[in-house]
C-alpha cells in the first residue's frame, strides 16, 4: 500500500468533511440529488436532498416538501451506507432521471422505523433550513416507510397536507376519525406475504369508523381470492360511506385505498411510477382547496382562527361551503359567490374541516383550526 497516497486521501476526506460541516442547507443546486451524511448537517439523520428545477434561494419563493421514508432493505448508518436509500421509492425515481416539483428529503435510519418524534425533529430541521411552503408538506413511504408515514399522521397530521402510505405495518389508533380531514391515498397488494393487506384495511377502517368494513364492497373471486382487476375504495366524509371503482382512482374526498390485485410485497414501484398519483399529491394544500390552476382557486384566512374565517375566490360561480366537526357532524352550511365570512366563535376549539362544492363537479376539502 502506498502510504503517501493513503495519507493524502485521508487528509482530503478531513478537508471535505470540514467544509461540509461549515456549509448550510441547501447543499445542492436546482435539479440535483445530493447526499448529506449524518454529522455533516444539524439534521437528526443522514439524508438525500433533491431540489426542484426551479429552485432559487435568491428568489424568496417557498417550495413544497416531501419527506420520503425508506423500507427496511434501505436501512443504514446515514453515512457510507446512505446510498442504500436510492434503491427504491422516490429516491430511485429521481436517480433514474425524474424531475419533481418539490424539495424531496429522504432520511435514512438504521432500522427503518421513524417515530412521530423523529418526524417532528426532522420537520423542524427542514423548516429551519429550507424555504418551505408549510401548507404543502407531504409524507410518503414504502413498507417500513409506510409504517413511518402512519406514525407521522397519528400525531402530526396538522402539519401534513397529504400522505401516501404504501403497504405499511403500523396501525393508527382505533378510532382515528380526525384523520378524515387529511388527504390520504394508501396502497397495498392483495397477495403481499411480507406485510399482510389486513394492516392497511384496519387503518382505513379505523379512520372511517363505520359499522362495516371497507372490504364489504370488494368483489372477491371464489369467495376470498383477489379480484381480476385493481380496485379503489373511496370514503365520503359527508355521508360516512364507502364506494368502489375499478382502477387506480384518486381520492374524491380525502381518503382512498387502492388495492392492487397482485404484485407481492412491492406495491410502491407502480404507485410512484403513476404520474396521476404524484399530480394528486402536489395538488393538495392545508389552507387552499386546490393548487391546480385548472380548478377553482380558494383562500381561507385567518387559519388558525379564534373567531371568524373568510373564504374567497376569484371565480364568480355559486358555491356551497359545508363545515364539519372532527366527528363528521355538519355544523355549518352556506352558499356564496366570491367571498364569505364564517363566524366560528360559537364552536369549541379544535380541528374542523370544510368542504366546498361548485358546479356539482368540483369538491375540495381543507382544515380549519379553531384556537
Mean pLDDT to the nearest integer, 184-205: 98
Domain count, the chain: 2
Mean pLDDT to the nearest integer, 216-233: 96
Are residues 246 and 352 located together in one domain of the fold?
Answer: no
Q: Which three cell numbers stand for residue 167?
A: 403497504
**CB 91, CB 268: distance < 8 Å:** no
Task: Pick 116 or 331 by higher pLDDT.
Answer: 116
153: helix, strand or coil: helix
Say yes or no to pLDDT of 210 above 50: yes
Task: Pick 23 or 242 by higher pLDDT.
Answer: 242
HSE-CB of 259 using CA atoms within 13 angstroms: 26
Q: Which three cell numbers stand for residue 262?
A: 397482485
Mean pLDDT to the nearest integer, 270-296: 75
We report the CATH number of the domain holding residue 144 as: 3.40.50.1820
Task: Report the C-alpha gap between 299 and 317 in whole angstroms.
Answer: 15
Residues 6+ apart with CB under 8 A from 25: 36, 41, 49, 129, 130
Task: Report the C-alpha gap between 41 and 175 in whole angstroms.
Answer: 38
122: helix, strand or coil: helix
Task: Report the C-alpha gap between 92 and 278 in whole angstroms.
Answer: 15
Task: Report the C-alpha gap between 353 and 334 in whole angstroms.
Answer: 14
Are residues 323 and 231 located together in one domain of the fold?
Answer: no
Are residues 130 and 42 located together in one domain of the fold?
Answer: yes
DSSP β-bridge partners for residue 303: none
Task: Report pLDDT for 287.
Answer: 62
Are residues 106 and 252 located together in one domain of the fold?
Answer: yes
Are residues 308 and 262 located together in one domain of the fold?
Answer: no
Residues 6+ apart with CB under 8 A from 287: 135, 299, 300, 301, 303, 366, 367
Task: Report pLDDT for 10.
Answer: 45
Per-residue pLDDT band at 316 (split at 50, 70, 90): confident
Are residues 238 and 304 located together in one domain of the fold?
Answer: no
Task: Using the 3D structure, point to which of 229, 255, 282 is the last residue of a domain.
Answer: 282
Q: Which three cell numbers stand for residue 28?
A: 445542492
Are residues 92 and 38 located together in one domain of the fold?
Answer: yes
Task: Report pLDDT for 328.
Answer: 59
Four-residue CA torsion sign, 262, 263, 268, 270: negative
Task: Report the C-alpha gap between 169 and 74 in whole angstroms.
Answer: 17
What is the C-alpha radius of gyration for the chain, rounded to an integer number of angstroms? Answer: 22
The kind and range of the H/E element at 333 are: strand 330-336
**CB 156, CB 185: distance < 8 Å:** no
Are residues 199 and 252 located together in one domain of the fold?
Answer: yes
**Is 292 a member of any domain?**
no
Mean pLDDT to the nearest integer, 346-355: 81
Residues 359-371: pLDDT tens digits? Answer: 654 456 677 888 8
Per-residue pLDDT band at 355 (split at 50, 70, 90): confident
Over pLDDT 90: what percentage of the chain? 66
Say yes or no to pLDDT of 125 above 70: yes
**CB 74, CB 108: distance < 8 Å:** yes
139: helix, strand or coil: strand
Residues 6+ apart with CB under 8 A from 316: 337, 338
**Is 229 a member of any domain?**
yes
**Is 22 a member of any domain?**
no
Task: Pick 59 or 146 by higher pLDDT.
Answer: 146
Are residues 357 and 248 located together in one domain of the fold?
Answer: no
Task: Using the 3D structure, point to which of 282, 313, 344 is the last residue of a domain.
Answer: 282
**241 φ/ψ angles, rounded to the nearest 5 degrees:** -135, 155
**Is 4 a member of any domain?**
no
- Selection from 323, 313, 322 nearest residue 370 by Cα: 323
**Is 25 a member of any domain?**
no
Average pLDDT in the chain = 88
Residues 139-163: pLDDT tens digits? Answer: 999 999 999 999 999 999 989 999 9
Per-residue pLDDT band at 306 (split at 50, 70, 90): confident
117: helix, strand or coil: helix
Are residues 98 and 192 located together in one domain of the fold?
Answer: yes
Task: Report pLDDT for 276.
Answer: 94
Domain that holds residue 88: 30-282
Say yes or no to pLDDT of 123 above 60: yes
Over pLDDT 70: what percentage of the chain? 88
Task: Pick 329 or 105 by higher pLDDT.
Answer: 105
Say yes or no to pLDDT of 291 above 80: no
Say yes or no to pLDDT of 128 above 70: yes
Residues 245-265: pLDDT tens digits? Answer: 999 999 999 999 999 999 999
**Is 334 a member of any domain?**
yes
77: helix, strand or coil: coil
Are residues 126 and 167 located together in one domain of the fold?
Answer: yes
- Selection from 367, 307, 308, 317 nearest residue 341 by Cα: 308
**Is 212 a member of any domain?**
yes
Task: Pick 135 or 69 by higher pLDDT.
Answer: 69
Say yes or no to pLDDT of 171 above 80: yes
Task: Report the C-alpha gap between 337 and 316 in whole angstroms.
Answer: 5
Are residues 277 and 306 located together in one domain of the fold?
Answer: no
Determine whether 135 is exposed, middle or buried from the number of CB atoms within 10 Å of its CB (0-12, 13-18, 19+).
middle
Highest mean pLDDT among 23-27, 219-223, 237-241, 309-313: 219-223
**CB 124, CB 69: distance < 8 Å:** no
**Is 9 a member of any domain?**
no
Predicted model pTM = 0.76
Say yes or no to pLDDT of 293 above 70: no
Per-residue pLDDT band at 289 (split at 50, 70, 90): very low
Q: Which three cell numbers stand for residue 17?
A: 468533511
We report the CATH number of the domain holding residue 342 as: 2.60.40.3080
Task: Using the 3D structure, point to which of 251, 282, 313 is the last residue of a domain.
Answer: 282
Task: Report the C-alpha gap between 92 and 177 in whole angstroms.
Answer: 34
Amino acid at each position: 500500500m502506498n502510504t503517501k497516497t493513503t495519507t493524502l486521501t485521508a487528509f482530503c476526506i478531513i478537508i471535505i468533511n470540514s467544509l461540509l460541516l461549515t456549509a448550510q442547507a441547501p447543499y445542492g443546486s436546482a435539479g440535483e440529488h445530493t447526499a448529506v451524511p449524518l454529522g455533516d448537517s444539524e439534521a437528526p439523520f443522514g439524508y438525500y436532498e433533491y431540489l426542484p428545477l426551479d429552485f432559487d434561494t435568491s428568489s424568496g419563493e417557498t417550495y413544497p416538501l416531501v419527506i420520503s421514508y425508506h423500507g427496511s432493505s434501505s436501512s443504514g448508518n446515514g453515512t457510507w451506507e446512505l446510498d442504500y436509500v436510492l434503491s427504491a421509492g422516490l429516491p430511485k425515481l429521481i436517480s433514474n432521471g425524474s424531475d419533481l416539483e418539490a424539495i424531496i428529503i429522504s432520511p435514512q435510519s438504521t432500522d427503518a422505523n421513524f417515530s412521530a418524534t423523529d418526524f417532528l425533529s426532522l420537520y423542524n430541521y427542514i423548516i429551519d433550513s429550507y424555504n418551505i411552503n408549510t401548507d404543502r408538506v407531504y409524507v410518503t413511504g414504502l413498507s417500513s416507510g409506510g409504517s413511518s408515514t402512519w406514525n407521522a399522521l397519528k400525531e402530526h397530521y396538522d402539519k401534513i397536507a397529504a400522505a401516501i402510505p404504501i403497504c405499511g405495518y403500523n396501525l393508527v389508533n382505533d378510532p382515528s376519525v380526525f384523520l378524515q380531514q387529511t388527504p390520504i391515498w394508501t396502497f397495498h397488494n392483495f397477495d403481499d406475504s411480507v406485510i399482510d393487506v389486513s394492516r392497511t384495511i384496519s387503518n382505513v377502517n379505523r379512520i372511517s369508523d363505520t359499522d362495516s368494513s371497507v372490504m364489504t364492497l370488494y368483489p372477491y373471486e371464489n369467495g376470498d381470492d383477489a379480484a381480476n382487476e385493481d380496485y379503489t375504495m373511496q370514503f365520503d366524509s359527508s355521508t360516512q360511506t364507502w364506494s368502489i371503482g375499478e382502477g387506480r382512482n384518486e381520492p374524491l374526498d380525502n381518503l382512498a385505498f387502492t388495492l392492487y390485485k397482485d404484485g407481492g410485497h412491492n406495491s410502491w414501484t407502480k404507485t410512484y411510477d403513476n404520474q396521476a398519483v404524484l399530480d394528486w399529491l402536489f395538488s393538495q394544500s392545508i389552507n387552499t382547496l386546490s393548487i391546480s390552476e385548472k380548478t377553482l382557486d380558494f383562500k381561507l384566512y385567518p387559519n388558525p382562527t379564534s373567531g371568524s374565517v373568510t373564504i374567497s375566490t376569484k371565480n364568480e360561480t355559486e358555491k356551497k361551503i359545508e363545515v364539519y366537526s372532527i366527528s363528521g357532524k355538519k355544523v355549518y352550511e352556506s352558499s356564496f359567490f366570491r367571498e364569505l365570512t364564517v363566524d366560528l366563535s360559537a364552536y369549541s376549539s379544535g380541528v374542523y374541516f370544510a368542504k366546498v362544492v361548485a358546479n356539482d363537479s368540483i369538491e375540495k376539502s381543507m382544515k380549519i383550526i379553531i384556537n
